[in-house]
Amino acid sequence: MQTKNLKVIGFDADDTLWVNEPYYRETELAFCNLLKDFQPEEVVMKKLLEVEMGNLDLYGYGTKAFMLSLIETAIAISGGKVATAALSEIIGMGKQQIARKNEILPGVEEVLRKLSEKYRLVVATKGDLLDQERKLENSGLLDYFHHIEIMSDKTEEHYRRLLHHLDILPGEFLMVGNSLKSDVLPVVKIGAKAVYVPFHTTWVYEQNHGGNLSATDYIEIGKIIDILKIIP
């Protein structure tokens, strides 16, 4: 990867800097257990994904949007018979997930410390503004970043706006993240660079990257510390 013109490195947050998606899976399993008298787990999960996809344009991403989809799914799965106490328990699950302090992934702080000595680092992440700000504040990583961009989505246009705000050309930007759909495809399409760091648990929506990518379009690494081998 050519890095001689590189000025800014962007990092996704959830499941790139810290653990996030496994917490959603834990909540989903508890949710399915709560509704087991109405439908089996596979039916509940299928309906939940359908509801989440239908709500993306209305609620966006993040735990609060997830909570609303859980409640809507519970009502649909139960035919409106879900108890008020169960709905309160679902709200409690969401609050517990929001309050959870995310675990920083191995190697992250070393990578940020070394790269920040030479490059401007930014966070470019999706999700609820308050939720992501809270995670960043609690992470202890905030001081490494020149700019924080919490996006409603990650499309080519969103990345173009980010680069315009940073006053850089596409060839001067590199994005690092765990989603081909959000962190790689739109970035390489606008002429910037990308490093893909797969995470062991990925939301189904992010698994479908929606385009054809070849191995020459981006670099895939096994763990985030490996980025130090390709970026001097």
Whole-number pLDDT of residue 210:
46
DSSP 83-115: -HHHHHHHHHHHHHHHHSPPPBPTTHHHHHHHH
Q: Which domains are assigned to the chain?
A: 8-19+103-229 (3.40.50.1000), 21-99 (1.10.150.240)
Report the first-to-last Cα separation within the chain, whole angstroms. 11
Question: Judging by beta carbons within 10 Å of its beta carbon (0-12, 13-18, 19+), is residue 111 exposed, middle or buried?
Answer: buried
pLDDT for 36-93, tens place per residue? 999 999 999 999 999 999 998 888 888 899 999 999 999 999 999 999 999 999 999 9
Cα–Cα distance for residue pair 36/77, rounded to 1 Å: 10
Cα–Cα distance for residue pair 73/80, rounded to 1 Å: 10
What stretch of H or E contains 67?
helix 63-77
DSSP 165-195: HHT--GGGEEEEES-IIIIIHHHHHTT-EEE
pTM: 0.85
The two beta strands, 147-151 and 173-177, are unpaired
DSSP 14-36: BTTTB--HHHHHHHHHHHHHHTT
Whole-number pLDDT of residue 141:
95
User: Is 156 within 8 Å of 44 (Cβ atoms)?
Assistant: no
Instruction: Flag residues of the chain having pLDDT under 70.
Output: 201-217
Cα–Cα distance for residue pair 133/128, rounded to 1 Å: 8
